[in-house]
Amino acid sequence: MHPLLKRLQIHIVVTGATGLIGSSLIYCLIALQKGIKIIAPVRNLAKAKEKFSPEQLKCIRLIECDLVKFDYDSLGDVDYIVHCAAPTASKFFVDHPVETFSIIYEGTKVLLDYAVRHKIKGFVYLSSLEVYGEINDDSKAVDERAQGYLDPLSVRSSYPMAKRAVKNFCCLYAAQYGVPVKIARLTQTTGAGIAKDDNRVIAQFARLAANGQDIVLHTSGESARPYCYTMDSISAILYILLRGKPGEAYNVANESTYISARGMAEYLQKIFNPSINVKIEINENMGYAPASKLRLSSAKLRSLGWEPRYGLKEIFERLIEYLGEN
């Protein structure tokens, strides 16, 4: 158990309970101690119930609702909020850019307003490394103060521009209203429990390698980033929630996993399945973000006491095992 959670009897709101991070966080909170009461507003109650066992559901109050229109005041006072809910698919960003921006912005504003009225103890907003935009010099690590180019006239920018806007909003609410909101700026997180239709690069490549299929890149594969195993990201969120500074952002990434998309494909071929091939077939209509090289620094997060435990090999071992079972 995290030492800061030992004596707490808390009520915590977790949005995005059907997603990888939200559901994993809830599993973790249930395992920590019985005194943690979890409230999970969800869009689809049936989907949420499939995520958890009957025993786990005894610890969760699931509420089916529109996350933007829900009356959070009906919950009364809670101690903590972890806001995980957001669109995550690149194709959705392109096909539904207005909805993408609106869900991210408006869904966070109602929670921040609720936090003002109810004087919560802590709030973590889950952001994304995509807020950094285009940075292509990886000669030095990217810290939380960096900012690359984002094209405001690009439809694909609906997601990172909304995340940038909310990042500023969190800072404003912390400064003006004293909301103890912190930002977890996550790199791509993966692990057991990913959705079967998860189309992010690391999930696609692991699935192909597990099935003995060739890995086909639809870009040159130059984009590079670090990755993070699910449990490392969950522990980071808890550190930020309990030790982070209001109005501040923290990169969540395992620096040792920094690799390009093409490098990842070749790594999987070499280490896990030499029988497959790595091919490049350029397709510019996939909705991918512009190429960037985001060698994130996690020094600020590590100053809170956090350390990652799972490297690239361990991530893929667990991911491929999970995919093979499912």
On whether residue 203 sits in a domain, the answer given is: no
User: Residues 30-46: pLDDT tens digits?
Assistant: 998 768 999 999 999 99
For residue 274, what pLDDT is reported? 92
Q: Which residues pair with 260 in a beta bridge?
A: 224
Name the band, by pLDDT with cuts 50, 70 and 90, for residue 195.
confident
Task: Give me the number of domains the chain comprises.
Answer: 1
Question: What is d(CA 231, CA 276) in angstroms, rounded to the nearest whole number?
Answer: 29
- Is residue 218 in some structural domain? no
Token pair listed for 321: 């095992």
Give yes or no for residue 257 having a pLDDT over 90. yes
- Whether the CB-CB separation of 205 and 259 falls below 8 Å is answered with no
Assigned domain for 323 exists: no
- d(CA 66, CA 75) in angstroms, rounded, equals 15
- pLDDT average, residue stretch 249-273: 95
Name the least confident of 14-23, 51-60, 190-199, 274-283.
Answer: 190-199
CA distance from start to end of the chain: 30
* pLDDT tens-digit map of 56-72: 999 999 999 999 999 99
Report yes or no on 284 lying in a domain. no
Q: Is residue 319 part of a domain?
A: no
Does residue 7 carry a pLDDT above 50? no
Q: Which residue has the tokens 């510019």?
A: 284
What DSSP character marks residue 89? -
Q: 318 lies in a domain?
A: no
pLDDT higher than 90, residue 211? no
| Domain assignment of residue 208, yes or no | no
Predicted local distance difference test score (pLDDT) of residue 323: 83
Backbone angles phi, psi at 159, to 5 degrees: -75, -60
Range of the domain at 72: 7-194+227-255+291-309
What is the pLDDT averaged over residues 197-214? Answer: 87
Average pLDDT over residues 108-116: 97
C-alpha torsion angle, residues 29, 33, 35, 36 (rounded to 10): -10
d(CA 200, CA 190): 9
Q: Is residue 132 part of a domain?
A: yes
Which amino acid type is present at position 188? Q
Q: What pLDDT is attached to residue 9?
A: 76
Q: Residues 47, 22: contact at Cβ < 8 Å?
A: no
Please give the pLDDT value at position 8.
55
- The model's pLDDT over 217-236, given as tens digits with 9 standing for 90+, comes to 888 888 999 999 999 999 99
Q: For residues 184 and 298, give the distance between their C-alpha atoms in angstroms, rounded to a whole number.
A: 11
Contact, 20 vs 85, CB < 8 A? no
pTM for the predicted model, two decimal places: 0.91
CATH label of the domain that carries residue 99:
3.40.50.720
Q: What is the mean pLDDT of the chain?
A: 92
Read off the pLDDT of each residue in 227-254 and give the average, rounded to a whole number.
97
Q: List Cβ neighbours of 193 (8 Å cut-off, separation of 6 or more).
A: 20, 23, 24, 230, 322
- Reported for 145-154, long-range contacts at CB under 8 A and 24+ positions apart, including other chains, are 148/292, 151/290
| 221 phi and psi angles, rounded to 5 deg | 80, 20
User: What pLDDT, on a 0 to 100 scale, did the predictor assign at position 325?
Assistant: 73
